[in-house]
Amino acid sequence: MKKTKIDYTFWAVWLIIILIYIGIRQDIIDTPLNRDEGIFSYMEQLILNPGLPYRDVFEHKPPVAYYINALALLFVPPTPSGIHIFLHFYNFLTLISLYLLTKVYFNSTSAGLWTAFRYAYSLPVRPHSSLGYRPCAQSN
């Protein structure tokens, strides 16, 4: 039986990518829903209590995202934390997909890892940033 050599560098880089991904996103699990997330949540609840998007409520975004998120509400609690946990899981699956696509397209593991690192680091999720979460129910 032939033993395969474990590439510790590859797994160390993946561990770093995962730690960066979790480190950046751990603070927003308990934040309130922003405007878009609130609209998505309402549409998800509408779908689960049989209603139809665009007939019962109008929204200009395509319906696939609403149905994916409605499916998620079957597995996570319908709370801001539950929705954010699902979104983190969904984004992590996207990170893995980007790694695999880049690795195959360029035939390079390092290109795939670099893509995964950039995706893990560069999503705009920092609270109160110009691109990330902003609470919409604040009054002065």
Question: Is the pLDDT confidence value at 100 over 90?
Answer: yes
| Dist CA 43 CA 70 (whole Å) | 8
Query: Integer distance in angstroms from the first to the last C-alpha of the chain?
Result: 71
pLDDT beyond 90 at 37: no
| Helix extents (H) in 1-140 | 8-25, 35-48, 64-72, 80-106, 109-122
pLDDT tens per residue across span 107-123 = 999 999 999 999 988 86
Confidence of residue 98 (pLDDT cuts 50, 70, 90): very high
pLDDT at res. 50: 84
- Give the pLDDT score at 139: 47
| Long-range contact set of residues 15-21: C-beta below 8 Å, sequence gap at least 24 | 16/117, 17/95, 17/113, 17/116, 17/117, 17/120, 18/120, 20/117, 20/120, 20/121, 21/92, 21/95, 21/120
pLDDT-based confidence at residue 34 (cuts at 50, 70, 90): confident
pLDDT: which is higher, 140 or 16 = 16
Average pLDDT over residues 26-45: 82
pTM listed for this prediction: 0.74
Q: Report the alpha-carbon angle 105-111-114, nearest 5.
A: 135
Burial of residue 29 (number of CB atoms within 10 Å: 0-12, 13-18, 19+): middle
Q: What percent of the chain has pLDDT over 90?
A: 26
Q: Give the pLDDT score at 105.
A: 95
User: Which of 93, 84, 46 has the alpha carbon at shortest distance from 66?
Assistant: 46
| 113 CB-near residues (< 8 Å, 6+ apart) | 10, 13, 14, 17, 99
Mean pLDDT of the chain: 81
Structure tokens at 67: 């149905």
Could you tell me the pLDDT band of residue 131, with boundaries at 50, 70 and 90? very low
